[in-house]
């Protein structure tokens, strides 16, 4: 299996602040995203990914986000198996994102 690309929350924050338009997919559950999401992210809970693939652009980088980095890594693995390229996991998830604010 292909190695999953990683991005640190600090690097993602810098890229967003620089105005980059990125495809962000938050795979947390609804009650988790109710506490806050990264602006511009699309909410697709991990369990709904198979039925919502048409919402994910197949080209370019796709950055997956969850609470700690585990579910987003699973999302990357799943999409890579389906032939998606550019899957990137935000390390540490929203826990690290919020710590670094």
Q: Which residue is associated with the tokens 């990914």?
A: 49
66 is catalytic: yes
3-class DSSP assignment, residue 13? helix
Catalytic residue among 62, 65, 66, 76, which? 66
Q: Which residue is associated with the tokens 């506490």?
A: 35
- What sign does the dihedral 32-49-63-18 (CA atoms) show? negative
Active site residues: 66
């Amino acid at each position: 299996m292909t190695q999953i690309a990683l991005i640190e929350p600090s690097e993602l924050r810098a890229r967003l602040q620089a105005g980059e338009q990125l495809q962000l997919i938050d795979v947390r559950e609804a009650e988790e995203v109710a506490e806050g999401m990264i602006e511009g992210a699309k909410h697709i809970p991990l369990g709904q990914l198979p039925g919502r693939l048409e919402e994910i652009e197949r080209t370019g980088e796709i950055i997956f986000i969850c609470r700690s980095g585990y579910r987003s890594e699973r999302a990357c693995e799943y999409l890579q198996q389906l032939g998606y390229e550019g899957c990137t996991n935000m390390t540490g998830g929203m826990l690290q994102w919020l710590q670094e604010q």
